[in-house]
Structure 1
Amino acid sequence: MAQKREDRNNDNPNIELFVKASNDAESVGNCPFSQRLFMILWLKKVKFLLTTVDMKRAPDVLKELAPGSQPPFLVFNDDVKTDVNKIEEFLEEKLAPPKYPKLCCRYKESLSAGEDIFRKFSAYIKNPIPGLNDMLQKNFLSTLVKLNMYLETPLPHELDQNPYATESTRPYLDGDSLTLADCNLLPKLNIVKVVCKMYRDFDIPDELKGLKRYLDNAYKREEFRMSCPKDVEILIAYQSVAKYLNK
């Protein structure tokens, strides 16, 4: 998939994505922003070079290409870009139809679905006080329920097809295809899933059928599954901040 750079034009751009390396410096590390851009490029079906950066060695590549920045950053035909949101917008503009698929959402609500999950997850998982656990878990769970409601609610195009539909069957946030919204949310949900299981023995409840369906469909897609860091990388990243509760 990742290719050496060859041509220097917008039809066949030279793209290199720099991402955080794993703890052993051999594979992709834990960074949802890196995975977000990795997924976007993969879904665009564009040739690109993926370069992992070992942050423990403060590599010269950072000083040369993106001084003062940390991965992820992108080099597009020798133009260096470091802001993740702007990189996403840039790629959607430059890698456009008919040659490349568009990944933007039909519905603006899809872009904000699940946006509060990671903040409530962080408060829940970093809490060392057993007496606060139930409250923080309830707050965190409420964000999952909210996302589940969005995933179970039929979108306008589904109602156009079946005006009597009461529950959505779509596989992803915005419909039948992975979009920029999924590239943003899924890497975070993967972290949530792995860390909560380890430190709280917490699994996403089976009652949240829309969310379970969403994740099941996502893990079937290689663009998501193969861009995920190994579980051990996620756990290493959280071992200094996630707290076991001693009840």
Structure 2
Amino acid sequence: MLGKAPTLGVASTSSLTVAKNLRCDSLESLVLYRRAFNCGLLTQLFGERGVRSRVLLQKRKIASTRIVSMAEALDVCVKAATGVPDKLGDCPFSQRVLLTLEEKQVPYNTKLIDTSNKPDWFLQISPEGKVPVLKIDDKWVPDSDVITQILEEKYPEPPLATPPEKATVGSKIFSTFIPFLKSKDPNDGTEQALLNELRALDEHLKDNGPFINGEKISAVDISLAPKLYHLKVALGHFKKWSVPEELTYVRDYMETLFSRESFLRTSPPDEQYIIAGWFPKVNP
């Protein structure tokens, strides 16, 4: 209980203390404030202009959410599982786009593309035959970098943009994972190169976690999550290798990412699809 509201527009010291400890970041919170305290207390806390601006900001956010929920579903072409064309496949760049759509709660229709037997209609919209491709504003847009940037601009809530100084954290992990996965020489330095990148990520998360940009997930996490999942599954299968236990922040980070509902909804339904995708690269 918030206690008895002060009368005659004069806020008591105890009421002010309680109110300042409450979060005023939603329209519902402001409504509760108005019910619990009179306008004099709100004005003392935020000023009349501050109260109005908070209400207006929340109304805009709610309106933006309603627009997204009412929006026509976007068509997105992604890779189908190798040998199982009716199942979601193992492309980390496709999953990056799906994760962005999920985190922003943008409705979408998934079109699975058998990359070993690409249909003519797909080659017409993606002449290079690459996935993912997203249809937005009646145009088919390729490249996960471009797609996610457009989604951020068109659907700004919730914001997922990562500050430039953190946007490249972990960016070399995938490019060092692949040589190690393919390597047949245990002394060629590929494992050490990957470990160096993972240790750098561990140090960053130690000081900035639980996500790369702090408390909330952002675009850099969404890009890295599918790649770390491929690392976990592929290296575990082909090399019986896992992230060292001493890299506790990386291991916790991976567990946090992989347990998100958005990740579970956009991952291949079976790890075998990831293994099948990497098999011809590991054993050419």
Shorter-chain TM-score above 0.5:
yes
Following TM superposition, by how much is the alpha carbon of 1:70 offset from its aligned partner in structure 2, in angstroms?
1.6
Correspondence for 2:211 among 156, 172, 175? 172
Structure 1 residue ranges, 4+ long, deviating more than 4 angstroms after superposition? none
Q: CA deviation at 1:58?
A: 1.8
Displacement after TM superposition at 1:76 (Å): 1.2
Give the counterpart of 1:59 among 119, 126, 131. 119
User: Which one of the candidate residues 123, 126, 132 is aligned to 2:179?
Assistant: 123
- Residue 182 of structure 1 is matched in structure 2 by 221
What CA distance in whole angstroms lies between the structure 1 residues aligned with 2:160 and 2:236?
31
TM-score by length of 1: 0.81
CA contact (8 A) 2:161 2:219 kept: yes
Q: What's the secondary structure of 2:195's corresponding residue?
A: helix
* Cα separation, 2, equivalents of 1:10 and 1:45: 7
Q: Distance in 1 between matches of 2:118 and 2:263?
A: 28
**C-alpha separation between the residues in 2 aligned to 1:94 and 1:220?**
27
Q: Does 1:210 align with 2:249?
A: yes
CA contact (8 A) 1:20 1:55 kept: yes
Letter in 2 for 1:239: F
Between the aligned partners of 1:92 and 1:127, the Cα distance in structure 2 is 38
> Share of identical aligned residues, percent?
27
Q: 1 or 2, which has the higher helix percentage? A: 2
Is 1:13–1:76's contact at 8 Å kept on the other side of the alignment? Answer: no
* Alignment-mate amino acid for residue 121 of structure 2: V
Q: Which runs of 5+ in 2 are unaligned?
A: 1-67
Whole-Å separation in 2 of the counterparts to 1:196 and 1:82? 29
SS at 2:81's partner residue? coil
The correspondence for 1:191, drawn from 230, 235, 251, is 230
Distance 2:136 2:279 in 1: 35
d(CA) in 2 for partners of 1:196, 1:152 = 24
The equivalent of 2:15 in structure 1 is none
Equivalent AA in structure 2 for residue 111 of structure 1 = A
Give the aligned partner of residue 103 of structure 1.
160
CA shift at 1:27, angstroms? Answer: 1.4
Match in the other structure for 2:207:
153
Q: State yes or no: 1:235 paired with 2:275.
A: yes
Q: Does 2:91 match 1:31?
A: yes
Q: Are the equivalent residues in 2 in contact too, given 1:14–1:76 (CA < 8 A)?
A: no
Over 3 Å counting, the alpha-carbon distance change for 1:211 and 1:14 in structure 2 is same
Kindly provide the amino acid, as one letter, of the partner of residue 27 in structure 1.
K
- Quote how far apart the aligned CAs of 1:52 are: 0.7
Question: Which of structures 1 and 2 has the larger relative contact order (alpha carbons within 8 angstroms, sep 6+)?
Answer: 1
Structure 1 CA distance for aligned equivalents of residues 215 and 207 of structure 2? 14
Q: Aligned letter for 1:233?
A: Y
Deviation at 1:10, TM superposition (A): 11
Q: Counterparts of 1:41 and 1:26 in 2: how far apart (Å)?
A: 21
CA RMSD across the alignment:
1.9
Higher-Rg structure is: 2
Length-normalised TM-score, structure 2: 0.71
Could you tell me how far apart the structure 2 residues matched to 1:148 and 1:130 are?
A: 24
Q: Does 1:18 align with 2:77?
A: yes
Aligned CA distance change for structure 1 residues 189 and 239 (closer, same or farther; 3 Å): same
Deviation per CA, 1:75-126: give whole Å up to 9, x if none. Answer: 0132111122111111111112xxx311112x32331111111111111111
Q: Structure 1: state its 5+ residue gaps.
A: 1-8, 155-169
Q: CA deviation at 1:216?
A: 1.4
